[in-house]
Structure 1
Amino acid sequence: MVGLAALLLLPLTLAAAPGARASDPLRILVYGDSITQGSTGDYTWRYFLDRHLRDAGVPFDLVGPRRGLHHLPEGADDDLDYAEPGFDTDHAAVWGQKLTAPVADLGDLAADHTPDVVIALIGLNDLVWNHVTPEALAERWRAEVAEVRAASPAADVVLVQVPQTWYADVPAYNAELVALSAELDGPAARVVTTALPDFDRRTDTWDGTHPTASGDLKIAEAVEAALYLAGVAPPAGMTPVVQNGPRTASSLTAEAGVGQVSLSWHDVPGVTTEWLERRDVSSGGAWDRYPLDFPAGTTSWTAAAVDGHRWEFRLRPAKGTAVSADVTSPVVSVVPGPPPAPSTAAPVVGPPLGPVGPVRARSPRRDRVRTSAPAVPTATGYRLLVAPVRSCRRHPRASAFRPAGHDRRSPSATVRARARALWVRWYAVRDGVAGPLAAASSACTRVR
């Protein structure tokens, strides 16, 4: 295969498919799995490919039977909540699709949509879930290319290397794709393989598999270079600057109380977690992250706050590990404190609320953890937080704990745990405000 540096020295002639007019748009069928389809709130690498071709002045038409993303969390495949919906969203990618067990047969798709170019990024599900060997996948590709050519003889095929090379057999599969393209490539109908993007698992995926905006951009750039090699598109121009994390923030409202602030918000499509940030403006404090993160479905919280001080709060959206650095909710400002006292009597303040402890936790049966603690005087409720871990050797960070349902009347609960071990943490609550923590307020147990 010709190196990309050498390609930049070659003259480019954009070839039209036989029988097509030069003015006809280039019909491109994008085929794949979740990496290509994307999920709620994503750009997808299809967007960046569309943007490149459009900016380069290439007449094109992305074709396929689908338009939507995979919806989180329900799982439907007709979600149109793209980060940027203003592009040609037609495609033939399906969440969970496998080359060896396709939802849509590639040969049938080629017959139905008569593409000039087929771009395919698929195979990871076959390797990881069905344990198909790289060699068997290459043989399947040989048959698939033959079916594409039978349906659309002049169609070029771009085989996209799987960028998640930390999965077993992916490097070997990518090597098979490179060898296969060299074998099947021809002057009348090209078969080319993309270069392997420099993919960073931490920044280019939001869950260890599915790409963030920076990951989508890297895939698109590799595809653009392969289209240049095939002679159907000009080389990529300047790389756009992208930000990872959700592009839309929730609204946030705040209501002052005595020693507390009640916050509420709404779920945003594609946001899996909300970070709550706060600062004490009266004391000149800087923004800091609240010690709890709030998963999708949690839309309210009551936070303790010093009376008479002006507090500011904001939410920062995240999708998995991709946290928005440049997007937050509008800031809300509030001053907690008691309402004007009735003229007949001053408000009655109870004794300070103490911490819960000692907390006990055990796993009586498979996937279940039972936890309890002594009651705290003057508490009106109890709040349970949990953190799944690999072992109990290390105490997790505060941000790892998640609310386990609504507040309870007593510090006793049985929760489901699909982890090797589970940390539990109890807060005493009075009038909706959580009390302090102590070392004995948390405990960990191995899960059966």
Structure 2
Amino acid sequence: MSTLHRLTAVAVLTADMALSTMTATATPAAAAVTYRVLITGDSITQGSSGDYTWRYRLWNKLAGTARGKVAFVGTRTDLFDTLGNKSGSQHYAASFSARSHSARWGDTYIDELDAIASQVSRSKATTLVAMLGSNDLAYKTSPEATVANVKTYIQRARKAKPGLDVVVGEVVNRYDPWAGTYSLNDEADAYAGRLRALASSLSTSSQRVVVASTRNGWDAKKHTWDGTHPNPTGEKLIAQRVSEGLAKIGVGKASPDITGTTAWKVAGPRPSLTPASEAAKLGWTRSSTGATGMFIEQRLINTKEAWRRLPYAVAGSGWTAQLLAAGRTYQYRLVPSKGSSTGVVGAAASVKTTGPMPGSIPTLKVAAGPESIQGGQSTGASWATSKNASGYKLATRLMSNGKLSWENLPYAIEGRSWRFEMLAVGRRYKFRILPV
């Protein structure tokens, strides 16, 4: 009996081990790369410093719909540096590994006819996504001539890689924010019709050509940061339309739809601060954000003062805050602006101003006044001169509603009296006069 029990135990153990081995073997291995996608294009595709790019949006979608099956290939990985007016930037808004492409700022079909065969060969591409044509139609060739160049472009790409599948994008319109007018509408419409006819004539069962309907839903006023180059919302729309084209040749799926309003979540850089007499000098670098300007936010520490944003974006790489109180500590933070896109606040930095400290205000008189011509009640305030003060910053706080923050007049005044308007009748207020 004991021998039988031992044999039974061994048999059960052996069966369990065999079952475990079979289960491990049955687990699917990671999918091998099937599609080597070469993306060509102009500035809309290359993108500039601080952009996510529509390539990033497409990659994220394919990571879900064709996981492990797609690799982006190309001859470069960079963005365009709009501040230095040169290519070579790697300051993407979000990090991603699939940065390879062959798009170039200002590029056209006519300029790339002699290069596409080499790009396909060097990258060993199996699929080509061509997003050129905007600069052709705007500056160089008619819709008819541009489509003729597209045909030559595809033929040369196929010669370098027989069996190459091609997705070719439509040309989207542009918007002039200063004039409030659109351009390329007629040219893009004529081009799109001819492009579809070309795709139909070139497409075969072994070498497919499809058109990505990038004009579908596109509005340059809504989808760009400068009238031409896509903002995050525009990036997603282009990526969705390209994914729909790729899905027609079996690369990923058209769904889910990723279009929709999307924020530019790029944070401002931490400013450098240099103290000055009743002033602070701010400096920053724009290269990482590609910002065309910076919104500046300021607050005086230890006064429960809320952050206040300068009402306009400052161009350049520096600004001086003036009429500050001497010997006080101020905080500053930056919000990048790229055309019509506004980013998010960055890290704050502090600075203590220098200069002769204003003396205290020996007397402050406040008296209720007549009804305000703007509604509510008015109150007059007057005060004695503060030694060394060049101006006075005024603030009010409603006492009976639990508010902790002061409402500040957005600028310093030089006089020693002021009438506060539009105060609620019957409410208690506190007034603050800060010499600066």
1:294 corresponds to 2:294? no
Q: By how many angstroms is 1:191 displaced?
A: 0.7
Q: Which amino acid aligns with 1:105?
A: A
Superposition TM-score, scaled by structure 1 size: 0.64
Q: 1:119 to 1:281 in 2, by over 3 A?
A: same
Identity of aligned residues (%): 27
Distance (whole Å) between structure 2 residues aligned to residue 192 and residue 133 of structure 1: 21
Q: What's 1:51 paired with?
A: 60
Cα pair 1:212 1:322 within 8 Å, conserved: yes
**Corresponding residue number in structure 1 for 2:115:** 105
CA distance change for structure 1 residues 100 and 339 in 2, over 3 Å: closer, same or farther? same
Q: Which one is further off, 313-322 or 303-312?
A: 303-312
Distance in 2 (alpha carbons) for counterparts of 1:253 and 1:278: 14
- The structure in which a higher percent of residues are helix is 2
Question: Is 1:167 matched up with 2:177?
Answer: no
Does the 8 A contact of 1:204 with 1:211 survive in 2? yes
Give the partner amino acid of 1:143.
Answer: T
Secondary structure of 2:335's match? Answer: strand
Q: Distance in 2 between matches of 1:311 and 1:240?
A: 41
Q: Which has the larger radius of gyration?
A: 2
Deviation, 1:32, is 0.9
SS, match of residue 87 in structure 2: coil
Of the three residues 126, 133, 137, the one matched with 2:142 is: 133
- Tell whether 2:153 aligns with 1:153: no
User: Aligned equivalents of 1:268 and 1:434: distance in 2?
Assistant: 37
Q: 1:350 to 1:235 in 2, by over 3 A?
A: closer
Q: Which residue of 1 aligns with 2:366?
A: none
Q: Matches of 2:42 and 2:259 in 1, distance apart?
A: 25
Closer/same/farther in 2, CA of residues 352 and 23 from structure 1, 3 Å limit: closer
Of stretches 263-272 and 168-177 in structure 1, the one that deviates more from structure 2 is 263-272
TM-score by length of 2: 0.66
1:193 is matched with 211
Q: Secondary structure at the match of 1:230?
A: coil
RMSD, matched Cα? 3.5
2:105 corresponds to: 95
Contact residue 41 and residue 246 of structure 1 kept, 8 A = no
Q: Does 1:328 align with 2:337?
A: no
CA apart distance, 1:285: 6.2
C-alpha distance in structure 1 between counterparts of 2:171 and 2:322, whole Å: 45
**Which residue of structure 1 aligns with residue 282 of structure 2?**
263
- CA–CA distance in structure 1, aligned partners of residues 88 and 322 of structure 2: 38
- 1:31 aligns with one of 40, 47, 58: 40
Count how many residue pairs are aligned between Structure 1 and Structure 2.
Answer: 329
Counterpart residue identity of residue 170, structure 1? A
1:163 CA drift (Å): 2.3
Query: What's the counterpart of residue 120 of structure 1?
Result: 130
Q: Is the 8 A contact 1:30 1:93 kept in 2?
A: yes
Q: How far apart, CA to CA, are the structure 2 residues paired with 1:197 and 1:435?
A: 57
User: In the alignment, which residue of structure 1 is the partner of 2:230?
Assistant: 211
Q: 2:78 — aligned with what?
A: 68
Secondary structure at the aligned position of 2:210 is classed as strand
Contact in 2 for aligned 1:40/1:81 (Cα 8 Å)? yes
- TM-superposed CA distance for 1:218, in Å, is 0.9
Task: Answer whether contact 1:160 1:193 (CA < 8 A) is retained.
Answer: yes
Equivalent pair of 1:246/1:317 in contact (CA under 8 Å):
no
Aligned-pair distance for 1:338? 5.6
1:183 to 2:183 alignment: no
1:314 is aligned, of 328, 333, 358, to 333
Q: Secondary structure at the match of 1:248?
A: coil
SS at match of 2:236: helix
Q: Which residue identity does 1:97 align to in structure 2? A: D
Q: Offset of 1:53 from its aligned partner?
A: 1.7
CA–CA separation in structure 2 for the residues paired with 1:181 and 1:294: 47
- Gaps spanning 5+ residues in structure 1: where? 1-21, 354-432, 437-448
> How has the CA–CA distance of structure 1 residues 302 and 98 changed in structure 2, closer, same or farther, with 3 Å as cutoff?
same
